[in-house]
Chains A and B, each alone.
Chain A
Amino acid sequence: MPMLHIILPAKMDHLKSFIQSLSGWLQHNGMAAEKIPRVELAVEEALVNIIRYAYEDQTGDIELRGDVADDQRFVIEIMDSGAPFDVCTLPQPDIHCSVRDRKIGGLGVFLIQRMVDELLYRREGGKNILTMFIGRNNGRFSSSRPDIHAGA
């Protein structure tokens, strides 16, 4: 099973390359077509967070890896060497208020959590490592909060 492995600078210019490579890899490995946009969205949100916040004024890379586990779940890891940032501990946005009260921002991580079956964060060797597990099939976006664990 060919793995996905891309390392590119954390720049918005490279977002398209990351997503196109991811998309091709998902298709090639038989991810259900209707799930591909959801996985793309989860990964894109994670990449954009890194591009915007991880390195502040410094430059740095993003490493995107994909593999298919024995249980046929897709495993996607996104790594950066920027400031520690545990997405799993962020508060949930209030999604029930009006336009006037609704806060701009805070939705990216919320969407990641809804798009994947399981989300893990760990800090290891000076890197943030975000791991997403996604089943090959099953239907629509999950409506409930997935299992979220803070890594060791």
Chain B
Amino acid sequence: MEIDVKKEGKAVIISLTGRMDAVSAPPFDKTVDDFIEQGETYILIDFRSLECISSAGLQSILALAKRLELMNGTVLLSDLNGAVKEVFEISGFSSIFTIYDNLDAATASA
């Protein structure tokens, strides 16, 4: 999985490409840990180019959300497609996260 990061206003935008699985989730955890340690609490994850996500990926997203909630921070998700969207729906994650149709809508809310 490729992880691309940019800062826009107060948001850190993390764009994911490929597969988010048990192998690629730990580097994602490390990336967000580094940003949180730098004081970032507003994180937007762009799923547009993510092809699939496993339970390991879901756990990473949930752990991030739990951590940010304790810090009064926010995690926003955008552009879920295909298998990723369906896994979010099946696992109940669609109803516990704020999900935008696209990155522009998510950044506009920042």
Contacts and interface: CB of A to CB of B under 8 A. Distances in A.
A41 B90 CA distance: 13
Interface string B59-103: 100110110010000000000001100110011100111000000
B54 interface: yes
A32 to B, nearest CB: 13
A107 B83 contact: no
Interface string B39-68: 000000000000110111011001101100
Given A44-B54, A104-B63, A107-B59, A99 B83 contact: no
Contacts, number: 70
B54 A114 contact: no
B51 A107 contact: no
B54 A100 contact: no
A37 B83 contact: yes
Interface residues of A, number: 29
Given A15-B21, A44-B54, A38 B83 contact: yes
B52 A105 contact: no
A142 to B, nearest CB: 9
B3 interface: no
B51 A99 contact: no
Given A99-B69, A102-B96, A114 B90 contact: yes
Contacts of A48: 21-22, 54-56
A95 B22 contact: no
Contact of A111 (B23, B54, B63): B54
B87 to A, nearest CB: 7
A44 B62 contact: no
